[in-house]
Structure 1
Amino acid sequence: MSQQSSLSERLANDPSWMRHPAVSFLFSNTPRLILLIAVFLLYGYFLSHQINLVTADLGRHIVNGVILSQEPAVFHTNFYSYTNPNFEVLNHHFGSGVIFAGIWKLTGFVGVQLFFILLSLATLAFFILSGKKYAGWGTTGLIALLIVPLLGERTEIRPEVFTYFFSAVFFYLLSRYRDDATSRAYRFLWILPILQILWVNTHIYFLLGPLLIGAFLLESIFLFRQRFFPLLAVWGATVVATLINPFGIKAITATMTFFDNFGYKLAENQSVWFLENMGFRNPNYLLFKILFCLLVASFVARLIKHRGSFKLANFFVACGIGTLALIASRNMAIFGFFAIPIIAGNLSPFIQEHWKKRILMWGSVISCAVLFFALVFGIPKYFPYWQAFGWGLLPDNNQSIQFIQGTGITGPIFNNYDIGGYLIFYLFPREKVFVDNRPEAYPASFFSDEYIPIQESTERWEQALLKYNFNTIIFAYHDATPWGQTFLKARINDSKWAPVYVDNRVLIFVRRTEKNRPIFERYELPKSTFESR
């Protein structure tokens, strides 16, 4: 009694502000808050690198959103090139462009990036919430801490951020209903068809919505049959919601054949093992392999030791997302997101209740150490997609455009794949591009019969010159393709073309014509300029 009295006396003597509920909450949840803040700050650090618009898709997405109401052809054709303007392709992500453009008009590129960062952090929050129900904050937070660098694999501002966010909400609400089938939890499931309408109009991975519900629906057949028909109703409504888009059912059928027309091989669409064999180096490749093995091991352990509580829906989701990640490295990030709650769920039966506080305490210490280490040594810079720390555009990122506009350089433009979106953002509609970074928007034969041979062969280049009458070449010269480097070397030594501008990303040539004489006589670069590049 005396100890209790002593404690009561000490509490009574505390300042009034310390007895405030918010302050009490902070004191009682300090380790949890430290762990979560460290995890979110680390992920935010990976996300906070300046935008290199030269090779990004963002410029084209913003133009989509700006002109969509005036140019309905943006919905279903190539539109931006002069080589294949009428080639039919469905613009699955037009809604993303509308959102990005709206934010850009109000707040510029900094606002777009902050929106992207906040949506990414919200995605991580939902996946952590899904996992903490099973394994507690400590274990789930430590798993998230391990996975953050993998999430940083996709930090360019793209429509896929909507897929990550909607996937997180879908999985959270479905898991919540599976574990606590109250009428309130079920009512929340009816948010999913509404979100599906947004999803189908913002990113091509929208089919994950019905598939995620399908995983829990299939689980209910084996384990929770009383939930089958309620889930079936939500699944049916979500499928119907998928049809609410400008293309109707064609949006679904086109998605299934989306990659059939890819005539240009992208690194992000190749497997980790293929990229490693090609000489690509990325710390995330090793992390992905470790994480994949950990996920498999967690399922095996759960099946052996706690078969009765095995979560079938989680297994179905892991198989699907894991297969996507094995096929294409671009899916490593979404695999990482789902791995957080799924691994936490598999480990939960092995974590004794009295261990959770100890794990949480150590988790807060470890997370702070990792965050400190990352900040001091600049860990994100060792990952290939990292740019300079900050928000908004890289300094002088539009310098090449200022040169083009200041000198009055005109097309027809020959450009390489990487820089297409950049040129669309700054020069459309005055100039159209030869190609841009949408392989699905061009016939596969265009890449195999024109784009690549033009760069590989002087003879094919001369033929293309007669066909298209190029006046300007604008090239993102960090293009690592062998044909890109062959082409640049040939043009530097081509007497018909004059290099007139170069910075640390862009190289511009003009054709030696009478019209261009004032430009190349004033700005032509000596060959010595390129000896160290």
Structure 2
Amino acid sequence: MKTTFKQFFNIQTTLKIFVVILILFSYASILCHKINLPTDDLGRHLTNGEIIWQTKSVAQTNLYSYTEPDFESANHHWLSGVVFYLLFKIIGFSGLVIFKIILLLAVFSLVLFISIRRGNFWIASLASIPAIYILSERTDLRPEIFSYFFTALFLFFLYDLEENPAKNRIFWLIPLQLLWANLHIYFFIGIAMTAGFLLEKIITHRKALKNNPLIKKLSFLFLSLIAISLINPYGIKLLLYPLNIFKNYGYDIVENKSPFFLQHLMHNPAISAFKIAVALLIISFFFSFRQWLVFRPIFLFLASLSTTIAGFLMIRNFPFFALIFLPAISINLKNAAERIKIEIEIINERVSSVLKIALPCILTGVIILIFSHYLNEAFFKNKEKGVGLTFQSNASAEFLIKENLKGPIFNNYDIGSYLIYHLYPKEKVFVDNRPEAYPKDFFDYTYLPMQMNEETWQKIDKKYNFNIIYFTQQEGTWWGQSFLRQRLRNDGWAPIYADSQAVILIKNSPENQTIIQQYKITKENIIDKIIYLKDNNFKIQMDGVHLLDLIDRHDLAFDWCQELNKKYPNEGRVWLEMGYLKSAENNQASLEGSSQYLEKAIELGEDLPATYDQLGLIYFNLGQFLKAKSAWQQALNIDSKNQNAKDYLKQYEALNLP
């Protein structure tokens, strides 16, 4: 019997070690991707850090823009810029990726440790599956990684105080809060967590509050965290900044959107995992509340409720939900797991021994099966594996610098930080990806209208006399895409550079004729200039298709898609692109082909409202009215607020069609 127990213990221990390694390796695998500098904020953070390190001061105004240089703006993550800059000087871009991986693995390891120690190993392990899916939404190198780190540390020290109330380790949180307040705007989370923990102890010890040492410590800590947060370059303004930042926020960005909105625009496994995790968390609290007399999870409930609401409001808050979800569900279901264990022991001893080994093995198999999703190419179709910078990250800026091209530059929102990194202070930007650093009116009455309205564009162009237009070629907004296509079709501007990341146009003026003659991209020579993109990964090849589409070479783009289709026959995005490209020809045969391609794309998972909207239009132009109506109705079934489908159906009814 002694040998059997030893063998059982060894199997259990080996399985647990293997599962922990697998979980951490799976998370590390999704963190190990390159920095896409043209669209990341990192370039601006590095420039911030360099300026602060050299001048020993933090800017109080916009600084980088020639449009709003004097607009007051708080750099709420100034210390992150300094940290990134100093690390970059020592270890470069590759080292920064490794630093991010190590830091975020430490965060997850600490939260997993808390979940296992205070909860149940197998519940924590299984809960890691949706948690990592949720965390996959935010894997870039940003100042927010420090907020994840401090959230985990606060959890650890608060629970440590509960286990060791006589110890004073909890006061390490005060200097940590000082760092947090200067590293990232989410520093208030530490104050909120302490307040929640204090509230739980007040309710739990409400009959013996007087001279309670635990409550005294937490009260002192709470007040100290608020006070220490005032030590920053902006004083009380930064302390209150989280409450005020959206009062002047004129530009909508994806990370600030609700998952309910985004689920109709893209397929995102993090959104599905978030919904599943919320449902599981609610169920776990039913088990927890049944034990109210012996276990009162007030802190966990408040933290779970807060992060759930935050996640439903903005997708950027997903990681904070995941970091609370993991310990919450493990702790809530701990007793339920113990009861299952007791029930197994009551069963016949032989059956019980088999189950004790079989169940962990089955659970391990489930974890391997699900996590294997991240170990194939699927997750990395929009990211490049490895460390350092993505393909052609610096190429467009190097071209601009080499050719000594001068502004003023009209750039799009996404590429602003990149241009700051490469060109400041010689050139300033029109806009960059800091909505709070520009007046709301700037976006409402300048930046957006000039891309939507030709007359406004001409007026603003006359005001600033732009010499360069510099856009990310995968500009994500309809107005940006429309504007770029119009400029490419306009003889007043000449495209002189295009790659998988960016497009540069120069004004067709007498002073620029030499550079135009040397580098101008035309419909005739575009394929020769970008043919090298075919030798790269799926994403970069699709970038090549997009470039051909931008310059109105739909025929070449379609041919390129057909080649891709042979390599990736089950990739819905290729079928979708072929459907859109074929519809541009607008004849009977091409429309019939387009409908078939879009139907195939839907079959392969591209079943989004926009796809059904387009398919309905094609059916309508083919005279297949009932199919058109059905497609638009399906778009509304997916998203009841889809305005395009509503408008199409309204026009359909006005025509008295069947």
Q: Same-fold call, TM > 0.5?
A: yes
CA 1:458–1:335: 2 relative to 1, 3 Å: same
Structure 2 residue 125 is the aligned partner of structure 1 residue 146: no
Q: Which has the larger radius of gyration?
A: 2
Structure 2 residue 205 is the aligned partner of structure 1 residue 208: no
- Whether the 8 Å CA contact 1:77–1:86 is kept in 2: the answer is yes
Describe the superposition over 1:365-384 as per-residue Cα deviations: whole angstroms up to 9, x where unpaired: 43334444532x334236xx
- Whether the 8 Å CA contact 2:287–2:336 is kept in 1: the answer is no
Structure 2 residue 312 is the aligned partner of structure 1 residue 322: no
Instruction: Identify the match of residue 88 of structure 1 among 66, 72, 82.
Output: 72
Match of 1:183 in 2: 166
Structure 2 residue 116 is the aligned partner of structure 1 residue 115: no
AA partner of residue 380 (structure 1): F
| SS of residue matched to 1:495 | coil
Offset of residue 72 of structure 1 = 6.5
In the aligned structure 1, how far is the partner of 2:523 from the partner of 2:61? 41
AA partner of residue 290 (structure 1): I
AA partner of residue 408 (structure 1): N
In the aligned structure 2, how far is the partner of 1:298 from the partner of 1:87? 48
Instruction: Identify the match of residue 244 of structure 2 among 248, 257, 261.
Output: 257
Structure 2 residue 377 is the aligned partner of structure 1 residue 378: yes
Instruction: Identify the match of residue 40 of structure 2 among 53, 56, 59.
Output: 56
AA partner of residue 467 (structure 1): K
Structure 2 residue 426 is the aligned partner of structure 1 residue 430: yes
CA 1:113–1:347: 2 relative to 1, 3 Å: same
Count of residue correspondences: 507
In the aligned structure 2, how far is the partner of 1:368 from the partner of 1:275? 29
Greater mean alpha carbon deviation, residues 163-172 or residues 139-148: 139-148
Greater mean alpha carbon deviation, residues 62-71 or residues 423-432: 62-71
In the aligned structure 1, how far is the partner of 2:372 from the partner of 2:268? 22
In the aligned structure 2, how far is the partner of 1:514 from the partner of 1:74? 42
Gaps of 5+ in 2: 343-355, 527-550, 558-658
Offset of residue 307 of structure 1 = 5.0
Offset of residue 71 of structure 1 = 4.8
Report the TM-score, using the length of structure 2 for normalisation: 0.74
Offset of residue 291 of structure 1 = 0.7
Match of 1:270 in 2: 257
Greater mean alpha carbon deviation, residues 64-73 or residues 459-468: 64-73
Structure 2 residue 106 is the aligned partner of structure 1 residue 106: no
Q: Percent identity?
A: 35
AA partner of residue 286 (structure 1): S
Offset of residue 136 of structure 1 = 2.7
- Whether the 8 Å CA contact 2:420–2:428 is kept in 1: the answer is yes
Greater mean alpha carbon deviation, residues 509-518 or residues 192-201: 509-518
CA 1:211–1:163: 2 relative to 1, 3 Å: same
Greater mean alpha carbon deviation, residues 36-45 or residues 345-354: 345-354
In the aligned structure 2, how far is the partner of 1:103 from the partner of 1:301? 46
- Whether the 8 Å CA contact 1:52–1:397 is kept in 2: the answer is yes
Instruction: Identify the match of residue 490 of structure 1 among 481, 486, 490.
Output: 486
Match of 1:237 in 2: 224
Instruction: Identify the match of residue 287 of structure 1 among 265, 273, 277.
Output: 273
CA 1:274–1:388: 2 relative to 1, 3 Å: same
Match of 1:16 in 2: none
Offset of residue 506 of structure 1 = 0.5
In the aligned structure 2, how far is the partner of 1:298 from the partner of 1:353? 15
AA partner of residue 368 (structure 2): C
Describe the superposition over 1:224-260 as per-residue Cα deviations: whole angstroms up to 9, x where unpaired: 3432111111112211211111111111122211111
Offset of residue 423 of structure 1 = 0.6
Offset of residue 317 of structure 1 = 0.9
Offset of residue 31 of structure 1 = 1.8
In the aligned structure 2, how far is the partner of 1:435 from the partner of 1:72? 25
Gaps of 5+ in 1: 12-24
Instruction: Identify the match of residue 127 of structure 1 among 98, 101, 111.
Output: 111
- Whether the 8 Å CA contact 1:129–1:172 is kept in 2: the answer is no
- Whether the 8 Å CA contact 1:128–1:140 is kept in 2: the answer is yes
- The aligned runs of 1:128-527 (5 Å cut-off) are 128-178=112-162, 180-184=163-167, 187-224=168-205, 225=209, 226=212, 227-277=214-264, 279-304=265-290, 306=292, 308-352=294-338, 355=341, 360-375=360-375, 377-381=376-380, 386-527=382-523
Match of 2:13 in 1: 29
In the aligned structure 2, how far is the partner of 1:511 from the partner of 1:445? 27
Q: Which has the higher contact order (CA 8 A, sep 6+)?
A: 1
Offset of residue 150 of structure 1 = 1.0
CA 1:31–1:396: 2 relative to 1, 3 Å: same
Offset of residue 362 of structure 1 = 4.1
CA 1:132–1:459: 2 relative to 1, 3 Å: same
In the aligned structure 1, how far is the partner of 2:447 from the partner of 2:474? 17
In the aligned structure 2, how far is the partner of 1:413 from the partner of 1:74? 26
Report the TM-score, using the length of structure 1 for normalisation: 0.90
